[in-house]
Amino acid sequence: MKVSLRAGERIYINGAVLRVDRKVSVELVNDVMFLLEGQVMQASDANTAMRQLYFIVQLMLMNPTDVDAAAALYEQHHAALLAVCENREMLDGLAAIDEMVGATRYFEALKRIRALFPVEQAILAGTTITNSPFEAA
């Protein structure tokens, strides 16, 4: 996988933080877990249940040598979401996310969580969303 970075941009690879001083392309030639700086959520932005779930999974990805505490927190938070959620799309998404986290596919889980942000926002606003990319056709 080839990743292009701008000058000053950071990439988080297997728990390490790398910042480049000039535009560069990096080819990742083996299986690594990484996040680009633009995908990293700050703790202050984790202000809804799904954003908190994202932040927890992000911790698991960014610090792979110490996953246990974040994994325990994930289990609690995921179970709490399942207990209160009634929306079918959210329930299906949470099941898929749990499967991905169980298989340590954290990056894919983060992608799936981000896709549910608009659904969560609609639920919180009391509206509905149509044409979701995860709805059955």
Please give the pLDDT value at position 117. 96
> Which pTM does this prediction carry?
0.80
For the chain, the DSSP string reads -EEEE-TT-EEEETTEEEE-SS-EEEE--S---EEEGGGPPPGGG--SHHHHHHHHHHHHHH-TTS-HHHHHHHHHHHHHHHHH---HHHHHHHHHHHHHHHTT-HHHHHHHHHHHHHHHHHHHHT----S-TTS--
Whether 135 shows a pLDDT value over 60: the answer reads no
Residue 126: pLDDT over 70: yes
- The domain segmentation of the chain, as residue ranges, is 2-38, 41-125
pLDDT reading at 49 higher than 50 = yes
- Which is more confidently placed, 79 or 15? 79
